[in-house]
Amino acid sequence: MNLAHTSRRSARAYEAPVAIAVRNISQRYGDADSPQSVVALDNVSLDVRRGEFLCLLGPSGCGKSTLLNIIGGLVQASEGEVSVGGAVVRRPSPEKIAFVFQESTLFPWYSVAENFSIAFKYRGIGRSEWRDRTMVALKSVGMTDFADHYPDQLSIGMRQRVNLARGIAAGTEILLMDEPFAALDEQSRMVLGEDLSILLAQTGKTIVFVTHSLAEAVFLSDRIALMSARPGRVKSIIDVDEPHPRLPGFMLEQRFSDLRNACYASLHDEIRQAMTATGCAGSAR
Amino acid sequence: MKQRPHLTPRLIQFAFLALTIAAWFVIDTTGAISPLFLPPMESVWRAFLALVQTAIFWSAVRVTLTTILQAYIIAILLGIPAGYLVTRSRFLTALLEPIVSGLFAIPITLFFPLFILLFGIGTGSKIAYGAAYGFFPIALNTIAGFSNVNPRFLDAAQSMGLSRLGTLRHVLFPAAFPVILTGLRIAFFISFASVLGGETISSVSGVGRNIALAAELMEPARMFAWMAAVIATALALNALVSRLESRMRGS
Q: Does B228 have pLDDT greater than 50?
A: yes
Tell me, what's the pLDDT at B1? 52
Mean pLDDT of chain A, nearest integer: 83
- pLDDT digit string, tens, across residues B51-80: 999 999 999 999 999 999 999 999 999 999
Tell me, what's the pLDDT at B126? 95
> With contacts defined as CB-CB under 8 Å, which chain B residues touch A101?
152, 155-156, 159
**A203: confidence class by pLDDT, cuts 50, 70, 90:** confident
Cα separation, B204 vs B218, in Å, equals: 19
The one-letter code for the residue type at B42 is E
Portion of chain B with pLDDT greater than 90, in percent: 64
Give me the mean pLDDT over the B76-101 stretch.
91
Q: Does A280 have pLDDT greater than 60?
A: no
Give me the mean pLDDT over the B214-226 stretch.
91
Tell me, what's the pLDDT at A212? 83
pTM for the predicted model, two decimal places: 0.77
Tell me, what's the pLDDT at A262? 87
> With contacts defined as CB-CB under 8 Å, which chain A residues touch B152?
101-102, 104-105
Task: Determine the residue among B159, B168, B170, B179 to mutate to test chain A binding: the one whose Cβ has the most chain A Cβ atoms within 10 Å.
Answer: B159
Tell me, what's the pLDDT at B3? 59
**B185: confidence class by pLDDT, cuts 50, 70, 90:** very high
Cβ distance of A118 and B159 shorter than 8 Å: no
Determine contact, residues B112/B201, Cβ cutoff 8 Å. yes
- The closest CB to that of B161, out of A109, A123, A176, belongs to A123
**A284: confidence class by pLDDT, cuts 50, 70, 90:** very low
